[in-house]
Structure 1
Amino acid sequence: MSKILIDLTVAIPTYNGAKRLPLVLEKLHEQVDTENIAWEIIIVDNNSTDETARIVRDYQANWQKPFPLKYCLETEQGAAFARKKAVKEAQGNLIGFLDDDTLPAPNWVAAAYKFAREHPQAGAYGSQVHGDYEVEPPANFDRIASFFAITERGDKPHLYEPSLKMLPPSAGLVVRKQAWCENVPEQPFLSGRSGKSILNSEDLEVVMYIQNAGWEVWYNSEMEIYHQIKRDRLTREYLLYLMRSTGLARHHIRMLRLKPWQRPLFFPLGLAKDLQKAIAYFLKNRNLLEKDVVAACEMEFLRSSVISPFYLWRISLKI
């Protein structure tokens, strides 16, 4: 019997996602216009301590769809390791990543496959990501919404030009397996937030390697997902933590945009620019930092960006 070729793998890394996964799977169960697409779903359990494995087994036992539902375990903690495991296990030429709290629109799979066929030079392309909030977010939340992968850049696809220094998040991201395997290092520097690391932006690191290799990176407005944001992620404490974890990784992301010989030259310029921004923001908004959570978040991101190269240097000495 000949082996069925898979066009698209939908990979869902999850950590303790037993309560969140069912709704994501239901949305994938309801995908439309996929009759001519060979696709599969892989749940990557990132060492969960809840009932994630049992939940997936229960779904597998009753799965009636022609596209398979698979499960694999990644014991190394961190989103980067879970995504790397997904790439290794994926049978598809395309790999679409969903988080366990992101719900795809009914045509997401079809739109992802269609875009790849129309843009053969696209090594990665992101979705239009909307926020679905359990409670009303703070005033002026739109200024920091991108830190939650919210990506609403209009109704037309567009190319992420390297000079604009903007890239899509991992939520709703589709990559060509070839582009990943040929260009993303086996051992990433950023692993994602876990018990061992506070650092964020591991998704941007992957996309930057793909873009730096000459592949195009796109925003595909026809792929829409909805990021469910629970109330505990809108607290001041969590928001500041998110800003800190992203800001502390900024130096590494910035350096990836440069050639090795450029990095020693641009490092002091980038540091000076970050320091100038942080001081100017503090002087302008210092009276708002206690009562305005968004202003406090912006200040924390700028502060962490200044600290970033020294923090990363200290981390590298421990590795």
Structure 2
Amino acid sequence: MSPSVEVAIPTYANNGTTIKLVLEKLTKQTYDDFNTLVVYKPSPNDFNTIKVLEDYSKNLSIKIVEQKEGKIEEAMNLIYSNAKGDILITLDDDNIPSETWVEDHLKSHELYPRFGALRGKITRTREIKHSLGHNKKPSQTASLQTLL
């Protein structure tokens, strides 16, 4: 029997921009038997995230948990307390997974069953300004993969 898989995404002040790209890639996964948990913290200028989540719930099994207070730590606590899958894979709302991302995680868990945490290939959607300096041109940005 295959393990149940849950992809969890914390989001705040996204306004539906990058999370839309993340969800689009999740609809194209080579392994598609997973649930999606989104911990959403409303912000005053965010008018689109809920609509984007509702739109993508037609193609993905999405559960939305509202975060009332706190920062990322509280979002992660909500993820851990609401996740139901045997395997939990977390993803930031501005990191675009490859189309084999979920499948690759499952293969890694099969190869290394004693490992508790794994990381897959993602593409960062924003610049990491503090790591590169403020004078750099946009073409001189780096991905999270490069920095780690």
Instruction: Give the shorter-chain TM-score range.
Output: 0.7 to 0.9
SS of residue in 2 equivalent to 1:12: strand
Q: Which of 44, 59, 67 is the matching residue for 1:64?
A: 59
Q: Which of 98, 113, 116 is the matching residue for 2:106?
A: 113
Query: What residue in structure 2 maps to residue 95 of structure 1?
Result: 88
CA-to-aligned-CA distance 1:248-299 (integer Å, 9 cap, x gap): xxxxxxxxxxxxxxxxxxxxxxxxxxxxxxxxxxxxxxxxxxxx949xxxxx
* Preserved contact between residue 14 and residue 44 of structure 1 (Cα < 8 Å): yes
* Preserved contact between residue 18 and residue 125 of structure 2 (Cα < 8 Å): no
Higher helix share: 1
User: What is the percent sequence identity of the aligned residues?
Assistant: 28
* Preserved contact between residue 6 and residue 39 of structure 1 (Cα < 8 Å): no
| Cα displacement (A) at 1:77 | 2.1
| Cα displacement (A) at 1:87 | 1.4
* Preserved contact between residue 6 and residue 40 of structure 1 (Cα < 8 Å): no
Query: What residue in structure 2 maps to residue 142 of structure 1?
Result: none
Flag the 1:53–1:118 CA change in 2: closer, same or farther, 3 A: same
Query: What residue in structure 2 maps to residue 22 of structure 1?
Result: 20
Amino acid at match of 1:125: L
Q: Distance in 2 between matches of 1:78 and 1:10?
A: 19
Query: What residue in structure 2 maps to residue 82 of structure 1?
Result: 75
Query: What residue in structure 2 maps to residue 55 of structure 1?
Result: 52
Query: What residue in structure 1 maps to residue 123 of structure 2?
Result: 226
Q: Distance in 2 between matches of 1:107 and 1:53?
A: 26
| Cα displacement (A) at 1:53 | 2.0
| Cα displacement (A) at 1:20 | 1.4
Amino acid at match of 2:52: I
Flag the 1:47–1:77 CA change in 2: closer, same or farther, 3 A: farther
SS of residue in 2 equivalent to 1:82: helix
Unpaired runs of 5+ in structure 2? 135-148
Amino acid at match of 1:19: T
SS of residue in 2 equivalent to 1:124: coil
RMSD: 2.2
| Cα displacement (A) at 1:107 | 0.4
Q: Distance in 2 between matches of 1:6 and 1:55?
A: 28
Flag the 1:59–1:293 CA change in 2: closer, same or farther, 3 A: closer
Flag the 1:228–1:64 CA change in 2: closer, same or farther, 3 A: closer
Unpaired runs of 5+ in structure 1? 127-222, 244-291, 295-319
CA-to-aligned-CA distance 1:223-266 (integer Å, 9 cap, x gap): 31111124xx52xxxx2xxx7xxxxxxxxxxxxxxxxxxxxxxx
Q: Distance in 2 between matches of 1:12 and 1:124?
A: 16
Task: Please give the residue correspondences for 1:1-319 in structure 2 after superposition, counting only pairs within 5 Å.
Answer: 7-17=4-14, 18-32=16-30, 34=31, 38-49=33-44, 50-51=46-47, 52-60=49-57, 63-65=58-60, 68-126=61-119, 223-230=120-127, 233-234=128-129, 239=130, 293=133
| Higher RCO (CA < 8 A, seq sep 6+) | 2
| Cα displacement (A) at 1:6 | 5.9
TM-score of the two chains, using structure 1 as the length reference? 0.38
Q: Distance in 1 between matches of 2:34 and 2:111?
A: 18
Flag the 1:24–1:111 CA change in 2: closer, same or farther, 3 A: same
TM-score of the two chains, using structure 2 as the length reference? 0.77
